[in-house]
Structure 1
Amino acid sequence: MTKPLPSTILLICVSAIGMVAADVPVAGRPGCQMRCGDVDIPFPFGIGDDCAIHHGFNIICKPVNGTKRPFKGPFEVTKISVRDAKAWMKMRISWQCYDSASSKMKEWVDFQNFTYTPFRFSYEDNKIFIIGCNTMAYMRGVSYVIGCLSTCSDQPKNGSCSGAGCCSVDVPPDLGYLEAYFNKDYNTSEISYSSCGYVVVMEKAVFSYSTTYIPSTNFWDDYNGTVPAVMDWIITWETCEEAKTNMSSYACVSNNSECLNSTNGRGYRCKCSKGFDGNPYVKDGLLGCRDINECLDNTTYPCAGICENTIGSYKCSCPQGQNELARGVCVPDQKIQKSQAWVMPVVGASVGFVILVIMATCSYLIRERRKLQHIKQKYFKLHGGLLLFQEMNSNERKSFTIFSEAELQHATNKFDKNQILGHGGHGTVYKGLLKDNTEIAVKKCMTMDEQHKKEFGKEMLILSQINHINIVKLLGCCLEVQVPMLVYEFIPNGTLSNLIHGNHGQHISLVTRLRIAHESAEALAYLHSYASPPIIHGDVKSSNILLDVNFMAKVSDFGASILAPLDKSQLVTLVQGTWELLTRKNVFNLDAPENEKSLSMRFLSAMKENKLENILDDQISNEENMEFLEEVVDLAKQCLAMCGEDRPSMKKVAEKLDRLVKVMQHPWTQQNPEELESLLGESSYIISSGASSTGNFSIEKKVVKDLASGR
């Protein structure tokens, strides 16, 4: 096995690309090269910026071992489909091997970053595979970690990837960043006949596990160090409605094309309308969307008589002198005349047949309705509905409701797209209105593993007991569908992310920011310390903190929540602290230097170099706020400690923020120094006892001194 060179951080503005489908014509701008080696490059892609629709679709054609091949950054392109808006590319295999000479583990890991690009890993076509004995590996995204444990406790079987020598996990939607790493607690050297473990994201249709992968390097050798992966792509991050407001940049230029919103993250793409085929990104002609001649394909478009092609469709009729009987059979007029003697019997039989059909249809509809009811009851029981219903009746939990599917269909206008409040990694949230005019938010999840379905009723019993002013209230759920739906109270003022990043001209005071942080910490402290059993939210970020009419923080989205303790072999969610409130900067910035791409890394670097003013938001970075900022910065540093034991509990974080907010909001000018010193008490002691990044100081002493001197 040849060791590949480590990859550098890829400042990619678009994702990897692939070869065009054979049934879609190659189309491009005049004078542009439309083929690289044996791969067609269809518009909106192009070889060079001037030939692509924009820089994000630029392909580099370069020689490899004497043959020209297309690349996007370091990724080799193998296939592009304009019709399906998919691209195929090669990705490197990350590995960990035991070196018998040094008695140590060696590894090489790769990552792929398409965060700010038109490309996302296809959750329909890809899976994450881990191969090896006693190998635990992960793919880490921006705000979570996903992986599994591959063991050899059971006998591995060819073609099976079920944990014995190989395990796999699904790729979540809207995924643009993956970084591989191995868990050092699991050492492949303990298995005598296996020395290497691998982790890859690749197209699941081409993967087939072989037992020869364990005692050898066959997996690496079979794929020559790279594996195929499928990417979904979009034109821009706009929705169809937003893109149509600027027709000069609207990409669906063919008259016979239509716009589709992406199902894998935000954005839009184009496709030819029904009855047309070609390239929707090219104006009409030989290369754009052109009419399909259905008469040339009698298998797909059957016609027993004369087929006439029309624009976007076709007509089927009988030749002159013939008439069409039942089932499209054309017969001469003479046979019809001879059959007139049988008209009355045929009419009578037809009436009887119609009656039989009506009776059969009614019987079928009744059976289908009963079947549907049976399916709903099956789902209700599967998701723990009986247990939940009995527990609710016994404890008289009137605040929690088990909704029917029909109720939520009516509340959301059949889940109309205009009711959508937002999209997340676990599903779509819709605004709804119950019959009693109560506004609600309905979370319609996309998928759920079987174990979670079985435990769903028990989890609802626990989550229904959560009652905290800073946590979005779970009002109920719907269990009679394949994937349960959750119903929350509606919070009207949007997310904290919108407040921070949506309007940079809006002034947000330091006390307001600390109040929101304190309220959020109070919610998490409640979940960690007072819920029974303790609950780990698992996906805390500014977009999951809502603001009510008074801009009070409400922690939401328990789609990734888990009941402690964690099972290491299952999905693991990692919370990445960002402290966006202090900096008003994005969590991840690809255009920044190497050590400043992550906001947390940039934050720690600024503290180390004593340059906090370079990262803090200008609106709050002033002399008046500096002492409070240094206290908060010190708290942030503690929360970003690598070792969990070194980080303060959320309860302590909430207490510290509460004291800071109270100190900032107190009417100091109305107190004399003696009253102040008595008032500050324990709060001032705890605030002043922490060591800042620039040295030890006491807020209490300085405030009392300033007030005593009249400042």
Structure 2
Amino acid sequence: MALQVVPLLLLLSSFCSATATSSSSSSVKSVQAKPNCPDKCGNITVPYPFGLGHDPNCYRDGFKLSCNHTFTPPKLLIASADTIIFEATDQDGVYKEVADRVLEVKEISLLQGQLHVYSFMDYNCYNHSLFVSPNKSSIVMDLWDTPFTYSDTRNMFTVIGCDSQASIKYNNNESIGWFGILQYGCSVFCLGIEETLSGNYSGMGFCQTTIPRELKSVGRKLEILENSSLDFNPCAYAFIADKERYNFSVADLSGFDFYRRNRGMVPTILDWAIENDSCENITMRNSTTYACGNNTHCYKSPNGLGYLCKCLKGYGGNPYLQDGCQGT
């Protein structure tokens, strides 16, 4: 049976282009920025409460993005200093912040309150009983003090690679630190190249599990338990990815191609919300911090603290601008 392999990054780019075309044709107003503020990074529109540049009036606190023009086309990046990514081998017990590991943004959805980003995968590889990378690899991503949360409805925790296992440690309480007290994960096994390549179910060559709601701080650990599958599967990978953008293929088990093909990144969905208050607090409507403009409705974030805004029925545009919702 011929296998069709579609790179994750190409798939996500195609999806974003289609979505952007659809959005622009149906409601141009829904992607407005504040007046005199930049609203584009390459072909990606940046709507308020997100914003670019050095003027703090162009974005809400925590929603600043940056546009890196050293790339062609330019890359849109999360610029918040509170978004922290660490990586280390588990052997030395020391986690070091990685300055160049910033999240690239591919799309911003005001209606769904979501960011489509590229996040990073863990990997370990054997090379004839020698490790190309450490046998225990860890990445920590901390979103505390940011408006972002991993989407529990769109993402899955995925592990690829024979005789490997990976786990996530997390917490829902910033005061106890990233390491937390809760842990889950999954293990992968293979019966041999023929059996593995003929199967396509969780546990044979790969495994997947859901992630919890309100996930903001996560530490991942990936281990290769044996090297019995070295000849056709020398590497293992672990990542949190959008289940609508990634489907396992047995070709992902072959060599280091999966990592190279996707540049070590996978499409991931982050939920976002205005986190400083709730819709139930009616007095906030008289506050200068209230995020919703005129002709809008406030509703609770479906994933954790905070709220989102949307235009009332019969209106369209950007609900986060004071007069962004206009009659249609």
Indicate the TM-score class for this superposition, using the shorter chain for normalisation. Answer: 0.7 to 0.9
Structure 2 length as normaliser, TM-score? 0.75
Cα distance, 1:64 vs structure 2? 3.8
Amino acid at match of 1:100: H
Amino acid at match of 2:110: V
Give the 3-state SS of the residue equivalent to 1:236 in structure 2: coil
**What is aligned with 1:38?**
43
Amino acid at match of 2:327: D
Gaps of 5+ in 2: 1-18, 80-101, 172-179
Give the 3-state SS of the residue equivalent to 1:221 in structure 2: helix
Question: Are 2:63 and 1:57 aligned?
Answer: yes
Give the 3-state SS of the residue equivalent to 2:261 in structure 1: helix
Structure 1 length as normaliser, TM-score? 0.36
Cα distance, 1:192 vs structure 2? 3.8
**What is aligned with 1:27?**
32
Amino acid at match of 2:191: S
**Which string of whole-angstrom CA distances, capped at 9 and with x for unpartnered residues, describes residues 227-250 of structure 1?**
110011001242112364342211
- Using the alignment, how far apart are the partners of 1:158 and 1:272 within structure 2? 50
**What is aligned with 2:150?**
121
Give the 3-state SS of the residue equivalent to 2:106 in structure 1: strand
- Using the alignment, how far apart are the partners of 2:38 and 2:249 within structure 1? 41
**Which string of whole-angstrom CA distances, capped at 9 and with x for unpartnered residues, describes residues 443-475 of structure 1?**
xxxxxxxxxxxxxxxxxxxxxxxxxxxxxxxxx
Cα distance, 1:160 vs structure 2? 3.5
Amino acid at match of 1:149: S
Q: 1:105 to 1:75 in 2, by over 3 A?
A: closer
Q: 1:145 to 1:260 in 2, by over 3 A?
A: same
Q: 1:192 to 1:158 in 2, by over 3 A?
A: closer
Out of 250, 258, 261, the position equivalent to 1:219 is: 258
**Which string of whole-angstrom CA distances, capped at 9 and with x for unpartnered residues, describes residues 341-392 of structure 1?**
xxxxxxxxxxxxxxxxxxxxxxxxxxxxxxxxxxxxxxxxxxxxxxxxxxxx
The 5-angstrom pairing of residues 192-203 of structure 1 reads 192-203=231-242
- Using the alignment, how far apart are the partners of 2:64 and 2:282 within structure 1? 21
Out of 200, 205, 214, the position equivalent to 1:165 is: 205
Question: Are 2:274 and 1:235 aligned?
Answer: yes
Give the 3-state SS of the residue equivalent to 1:219 in structure 2: helix
- Using the alignment, how far apart are the partners of 1:113 and 1:54 within structure 2? 20
Which is higher, the Rg of structure 1 or of structure 2?
Answer: 1
Give the 3-state SS of the residue equivalent to 2:74 in structure 1: strand
Cα distance, 1:162 vs structure 2? 1.2
The 5-angstrom pairing of residues 582-621 of structure 1 reads none
Amino acid at match of 1:153: L
Out of 79, 98, 102, the position equivalent to 2:107 is: 79
Out of 184, 187, 197, the position equivalent to 1:149 is: 187
Asked if structure 2 preserves the Cα contact closer than 8 Å seen for 1:75 and 1:89, the reply is yes
Q: 1:178 to 1:103 in 2, by over 3 A?
A: closer
Cα distance, 1:123 vs structure 2? 0.7
Out of 197, 210, 220, the position equivalent to 1:180 is: 220
- Using the alignment, how far apart are the partners of 2:217 and 2:49 within structure 1? 23
Asked if structure 2 preserves the Cα contact closer than 8 Å seen for 1:60 and 1:70, the reply is yes
Asked if structure 1 preserves the Cα contact closer than 8 Å seen for 2:37 and 2:58, the reply is no
Question: Are 2:282 and 1:277 aligned?
Answer: no
Asked if structure 1 preserves the Cα contact closer than 8 Å seen for 2:48 and 2:60, the reply is no
- Using the alignment, how far apart are the partners of 1:198 and 1:103 within structure 2? 14
- Using the alignment, how far apart are the partners of 2:316 and 2:291 within structure 1? 16
Cα distance, 1:29 vs structure 2? 1.9
Query: Whose helix fraction is larger, Structure 1's or Structure 2's?
Result: 1
Gaps of 5+ in 1: 1-18, 293-711
- Using the alignment, how far apart are the partners of 1:105 and 1:261 within structure 2? 44
The 5-angstrom pairing of residues 253-332 of structure 1 reads 253-254=293-294, 256-284=295-323, 288-292=324-328
Cα distance, 1:105 vs structure 2? 5.8
Cα distance, 1:211 vs structure 2? 0.9
Q: Whose relative contact order is higher, 1 or 2, with alpha carbons under 8 Å and at least 6 apart?
A: 2
Q: 1:64 to 1:126 in 2, by over 3 A?
A: farther
Query: Whose strand fraction is larger, Structure 1's or Structure 2's?
Result: 2
- Using the alignment, how far apart are the partners of 2:229 and 2:253 within structure 1? 13
Asked if structure 2 preserves the Cα contact closer than 8 Å seen for 1:159 and 1:209, the reply is no
- Using the alignment, how far apart are the partners of 2:34 and 2:105 within structure 1? 20
Asked if structure 2 preserves the Cα contact closer than 8 Å seen for 1:45 and 1:51, the reply is no
The 5-angstrom pairing of residues 379-398 of structure 1 reads none
Cα distance, 1:100 vs structure 2? 2.7
**What is aligned with 1:308?**
none
The 5-angstrom pairing of residues 324-363 of structure 1 reads none
**What is aligned with 2:87?**
none
- Using the alignment, how far apart are the partners of 2:161 and 2:131 within structure 1? 18
Q: 1:64 to 1:94 in 2, by over 3 A?
A: farther
Asked if structure 2 preserves the Cα contact closer than 8 Å seen for 1:95 and 1:198, the reply is yes
Give the 3-state SS of the residue equivalent to 2:69 in structure 1: strand
- Using the alignment, how far apart are the partners of 1:279 and 1:83 within structure 2? 9
**What is aligned with 1:385?**
none
Amino acid at match of 1:112: M
- Using the alignment, how far apart are the partners of 1:79 and 1:291 within structure 2? 26
Q: 1:123 to 1:183 in 2, by over 3 A?
A: same
Give the 3-state SS of the residue equivalent to 1:106 in structure 2: coil
Q: 1:205 to 1:104 in 2, by over 3 A?
A: closer
- Using the alignment, how far apart are the partners of 1:95 and 1:115 within structure 2? 25
Asked if structure 1 preserves the Cα contact closer than 8 Å seen for 2:277 and 2:307, the reply is yes
The 5-angstrom pairing of residues 446-465 of structure 1 reads none
CA RMSD, 1 decimal: 2.4
Asked if structure 2 preserves the Cα contact closer than 8 Å seen for 1:159 and 1:208, the reply is no
- Using the alignment, how far apart are the partners of 1:227 and 1:249 within structure 2? 35
- Using the alignment, how far apart are the partners of 1:188 and 1:272 within structure 2? 56
**Which string of whole-angstrom CA distances, capped at 9 and with x for unpartnered residues, describes residues 68-108 of structure 1?**
21101411110001111111111111101113374676254
**What is aligned with 2:289?**
249
**What is aligned with 2:9?**
none
- Using the alignment, how far apart are the partners of 2:140 and 2:209 within structure 1? 17
- Using the alignment, how far apart are the partners of 1:156 and 1:190 within structure 2? 10
- Using the alignment, how far apart are the partners of 2:306 and 2:43 within structure 1? 30
